[in-house]
Structure 1
Amino acid sequence: MGGILLLEDGRSFVGDAFGASTTRVGEAVFNTAMSGYQEVLTDPSYAEQVVTMTAPHVGNTGVNPEDPESERVWAAGFVVRRLTRGPSSWRSTGGLHQYLVQHGVPGIQGVDTRALVRHLRDRGAMRCVVSTDGTPTEELQRRLETWPGMVGRALAAEVTCEAPYVFADPPQPVARFAVLDGGTKRNILRLLAEAGCYVRVHPLTDPPEALAKDVDAVLVTNGPGDPAALPGAVTTLQALVGKLPLVGICLGCQLLALTIGAKTYKLKFGHRGANQPVRDERTGRVEITSQNHGFAVDRD
């Protein structure tokens, strides 16, 4: 069966459907990583986003239970040039097609992803609808027009954990962290635990007193949506300034910037991929980093 990706500016891309037979709306974005598609799909930062991979072959290594960054697929849809239906990896326990079926997420393959990515690069990330169930074009257009977009959306409040929990509790921790969960990836928690840290995770709604209890520092995690739409989290962090070290990753960095009076804005098409170069202004060295964000801190 065929599938279609319809963009808000009227451009459309067609291909062959895979994954779930359904229709979803979201923001059309692209990721330039050559691997790690399962981590991308399960990263809460991709909530309500339709992700296009620039790598030409996707699904080569299948899926497995160790690599997901959360319990579910958060991406609204998945667009690839070519889906590999016969994965080859000693770690694989299944294929990408069935994985998306299980999680109710539509995918399209056979799309000219180079043309699509160039379009998004030139025009910017935009609203879109992806359909693999034959929904009429008029209905797709209606759904696209009624989707609110990303600006002003407090999506992190929708993906945060429901209650505090302890992720790691070593007998002699090298440091004790409270983690404010805006949509954290498992790997962040895993790395802290492997470093010998005590790790306690809190919902975005927890008060500053709960975060500060018996810890050495607070880490604010990655997450989806607009940081400026989370005034409650900013107020919580303001109450902790000067009392504990505060560290932020992605959305967390943006929330810390808002905490001290800076402003954030939406990037044209964002930075998403495992090959983003960053120059250290102190040393002049360039490092290749993994990034996934659609908002940034205003340097002014």
Structure 2
Amino acid sequence: MKAVLGLEDGTIIRGTGFGAEGIVSGELVFTTQYTGYEEALTDPSYKGQILMFTYPLIGNYGVSGNCFESDGVKAEALVVREACPEPSNHLSKRNIFKLMEDEGKPGIAGVDTRMLTIKTREHGTMRAALVNGSNDGEEAVRIAREQPSISDIDLISKVTCPEPYTIKSEFRNADDPVNVVLVDLGRKLSIERSLLARGIDVTVVPATASPSLIGSYDPDLLFFSNGPGDPQQATDAVSAVKHFMGELPIVGICLGHQVISRALGADTYKLKFGHRGANQPVKDLESGIVHITSQNHGFAVDEDSLEETEVAVTQLNANDRTVEGIAHKYLDMFSVQYHPDAHPGPLDTEGIFFNKVLKLAGGKK
């Protein structure tokens, strides 16, 4: 199938299309992970984005469905150097071509992803459009330029759960259960799994949940998840943090980290090309230990804006010194920018983070 990728700067890339035929637009972003394409494609944080892998071969171990982080592919499209048609894995049920076809998502292969990655690093993320079934590059560029900025799109509403639901942990203490309310800004399922594995009951509520709805579940702790887009769009979540701070322990991951920071008086800003991959070094400022982490975000907390707040920076990215963790100086509130739940990526911080969550919620480590 003919396919063409157009960028807002006028770049036109032609390749071989696969998956669904049609036209999609989004912000072109790259991830440096070698494996974990199932997890990445189904991560709701990629909503509104066209996902490009820097690793040249994608799909070689097929698609099992066991590693999904949501109910399906959330990235708008897939860009790869080479897509493997014949995977080798006894767990595989279909190849990457069939996955994208089944999900109604387009992909393009035969692309010089190294050139596009270098271009993105130099010029920053750009709006893009992928047209499967055509070679009209000028049309792809026009569509790319006409789409709104990702900061102007409410992506959270497209991935949050429609109704609240509760999952009881099989490891729960029936005599003294611990309940966490997870505000779904576009959560990865691995966050739920990490909480449930520690005996914590999880009640998931939509991103627009009111304080009265959240409070009706009598939570021991309030948790704000990851999600897509600009944290300035998460106004309801910011209001919920302000309502419950000082009343409940509050924690967050990724977009949840940015939401908590904004509620505490910090500003956020868009990174040039973001952090997406499974090898980002994060230095803990108290212990001095550098952890290797999984990350997927295009926005960050402005460290200078924290100076007049009651917030302390606890962790920094060892590459560019962006804020990776914060904690309130007096209240039970902390958050991290990276994904301690990983999937894909290293689990270096999974136990540290979620055991601390359990302790704050009143459970036993």
TM-score range, shorter chain: over 0.9
Give how far 1:137 is off: 3.5
The reply to whether residue 196 of structure 1 matches residue 190 of structure 2 is no
Aligned to 2:8: 8
Structure 2's unaligned 5+ residue stretches are 305-365
Matched, 1:263 2:267: yes
Which residue number in structure 1 is paired with residue 166 of structure 2?
166
Moved more, 7-16 or 285-294: 7-16
Q: Which residue of 2 aligns with 1:181?
A: 184
Letter aligned with residue 104 of structure 2: G
- What is the number of residues matched between the two proteins? 300
| 1:223 corresponds to 2:221 | no
Deviation at 1:128, TM superposition (A): 0.3
CA distance in structure 2 between the aligned counterparts of 1:75 and 1:167, rounded to whole angstroms: 26
SS, match of residue 116 in structure 2: helix
1:139/1:115 CA distance change after superposition, 3 Å: closer
What SS is found at the alignment partner of 1:265? strand
| Residues in 2 aligned to 1:155 and 1:210: alpha-carbon distance in whole angstroms | 22
Considering Cα pairs closer than 8 Å and 6+ residues apart, tell me whether 1 or 2 has the greater RCO.
1
Q: Which residue is 2:257 aligned to? A: 253
Which residue, 289, 296, 301 being the options, matches 1:297?
A: 301
**Aligned-residue offset at 1:169:** 4.2
One-letter amino acid of the structure 2 residue matched with residue 218 of structure 1: L
| 2:105 matches 1:105 | yes
Q: Which residue of 2 aligns with 1:36?
A: 36
- The TM-score normalised by the length of structure 2 is 0.79
Structure 1 counterpart of 2:337 = none
| Matching residue within 276, 282, 291 for 1:287 | 291
Structure 1 contact 177–215 (Cα < 8 Å) conserved: yes
Partner of 2:90: 90
Q: What secondary structure, in the 3-state scheme, does the structure 2 residue paired with 1:151 have?
A: helix
Specify every segment of 5 or more residues in structure 1 that has no aligned partner in the other structure, as ranges: none
The one-letter code matched in structure 2 to 1:275 is N
Range moving further from structure 2, 10-19 or 32-41: 10-19
Residue 259 (structure 1) shift: 0.6
Instruction: Kindly report the root-mean-square deviation, in angstroms, between the aligned alpha carbons of the 2 structures.
Output: 1.4
C-alpha distance after superposition, 1:258-284 (max 9, x if no partner):
111111111100000111111222222
Q: Is the contact made by 1:22 and 1:104 (CA closer than 8 Å) also made in structure 2?
A: no
**AA aligned opposite 1:172:** N
Amino acid in structure 2 at the alignment position of 1:186: L
- Calculate percent identity across the aligned residue pairs: 43
How many angstroms does 1:152 deviate by?
3.0
Q: Please identify runs of 4+ aligned residues in structure 1 that moved more than 4 A.
A: none
